[in-house]
C-alpha cells in the first residue's frame, strides 16, 4: 500500500475511535478553561503566560491523544492486521505519525486562537498585545502537536498505553517541576518546559521562543526515531 492510502486508513482509525476524538476535544476545553481561570487571577507580571497558562494542562490531553493513537495498535493483534495491509513498517509508522500530527496541529492552532481570545477578554487592557498573542497562539499549536508526537514515539517503544502514560503524566505534573526547582536552567531543556518558553512575555533562561520549540522538536524527533526503530525491529 502506498503512503496516501495508508494515511487515509490511519485517519479513519483516529476519527472513528471515541477516545481519540475525546482527547482532541479535551485539548481545547482544558487549555481554554484553565487559561481563563489563571487570567482571572493574574498579577499582571507576565500577561502572555497568564493568557496561555492552561497549555501546561492541555498538553496532558495531547499526550493522551498521541499515546492512545499508537498503543491501540498493540492490543488484540491489531498491528499484525495493519502490517498485513501495509507490509512496509516504516511507511506505516510514518503514516501513523502524520495522522497524529495533522489533527493535533489543527486542534492545537484552534486552541491557541480560542485561548488568546479568551485571555484578551478576561485580561482586558492588561492582556498581551495582538502581535505577542499571535506568537503565543502559534507556539501553543506547535507545542501541543510536538507533545502528541513525542508521546506517540514513546508509545511505539513501550508498546503500552498504560506504561507510556505512567511515565509521561507523572513527569509532566511532578518531575518536571521538581527538577526545575532544583536544577536551575538545566530543566529548561526538558521537552515540556522548552516548548512553553514561547508562551512567556519575557524569559531569563538560555532559550528563546523558537529555540525552545526547536529543543522540544529534537526530543520529539528522537522519540519518533526510537519508535520507528522499535516498530521495524520487534515482532508485531
Per-position DSSP letters for 112-174, written without gaps between them: HHHHHHHHHHHHGGGS--HHHHHHHHHHHHHHHHHHHHHHHHHHHHH--HHHHHHHHHHIIII
pLDDT at 21: 96
Residue 26: which residues within 8 A CB-CB, separation 6 or more? Answer: 58, 61, 64
pLDDT at 75: 86
Give tens-digit pLDDT for 173-231. Answer: 887 766 655 555 777 888 998 999 999 988 877 888 899 999 999 999 999 999 999 99
Give tens-digit pLDDT for 100-116. Answer: 999 999 999 999 999 99
Q: How far apart are CA 53 and CA 129, in angstroms?
A: 16
- Has this prediction a pTM greater than 0.75? yes
What Cα–Cα distance (Å) separates residue 135 from each residue in 52, 55, 80, 91, 210? 11, 14, 43, 33, 10
Q: Pick the residue with more confidence: 171 or 90?
A: 90
The grid coordinates listed for 147 are 507533545
* pLDDT confidence band for 36 (50 / 70 / 90): very high
Q: What b-and-e string marks burial along 58-67, b requiring 16 or more CB atoms within 10 Å of the CB?
A: bbbbbbbbbb
Q: Pick the residue with more confidence: 32 or 184?
A: 32
The grid coordinates listed for 223 are 522519540
Residues in the chain: 236
170-176: long-range contacts at Cβ-Cβ below 8 A with a sequence spacing of 24 or more? Answer: 172/56, 172/59, 172/60, 172/63, 173/60
Q: How far apart are CA 195 and CA 215, in angstroms?
A: 7
Amino acid at each position: 500500500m502506498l503512503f496516501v492510502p495508508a494515511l487515509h486508513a490511519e485517519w479513519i482509525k483516529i476519527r472513528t475511535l471515541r477516545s481519540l476524538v475525546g482527547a482532541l476535544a479535551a485539548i481545547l476545553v482544558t487549555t481554554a478553561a484553565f487559561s481563563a481561570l489563571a487570567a482571572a487571577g493574574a498579577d499582571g507580571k507576565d500577561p502572555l503566560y497568564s493568557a496561555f497558562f492552561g497549555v501546561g494542562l492541555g498538553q496532558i490531553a495531547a499526550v493522551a491523544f498521541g499515546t492512545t493513537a499508537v498503543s491501540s495498535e498493540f492490543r488484540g493483534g491489531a498491528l499484525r492486521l495493519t502490517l498485513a495491509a501495509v507490509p512496509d513498517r516504516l511507511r506505516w509508522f510514518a503514516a501513523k505519525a502524520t495522522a497524529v500530527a495533522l489533527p493535533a496541529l489543527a486542534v492545537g492552532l484552534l486552541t491557541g486562537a480560542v485561548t488568546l481570545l479568551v485571555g484578551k477578554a478576561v485580561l482586558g487592557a492588561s492582556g498581551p498585545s495582538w502581535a505577542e498573542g499571535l506568537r503565543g497562539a502559534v507556539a501553543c499549536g506547535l507545542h501541543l502537536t510536538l507533545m502528541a508526537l513525542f508521546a506517540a514515539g514513546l508509545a511505539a517503544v513501550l508498546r503500552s498505553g498504560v506504561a507510556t502514560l505512567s511515565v509521561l503524566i507523572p513527569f509532566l505534573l511532578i518531575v518536571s517541576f521538581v527538577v526545575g526547582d532544583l536544577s536551575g536552567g538545566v530543566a529548561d531543556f526538558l521537552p515540556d518546559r522548552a516548548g512553553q518558553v514561547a508562551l512567556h512575555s519575557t524569559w531569563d533562561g538560555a532559550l528563546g521562543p523558537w529555540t525552545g520549540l526547536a529543543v522540544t522538536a529534537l526530543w520529539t524527533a528522537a522519540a519518533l526515531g526510537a519508535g520507528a526503530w522499535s516498530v521495524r525491529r520487534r515482532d508485531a
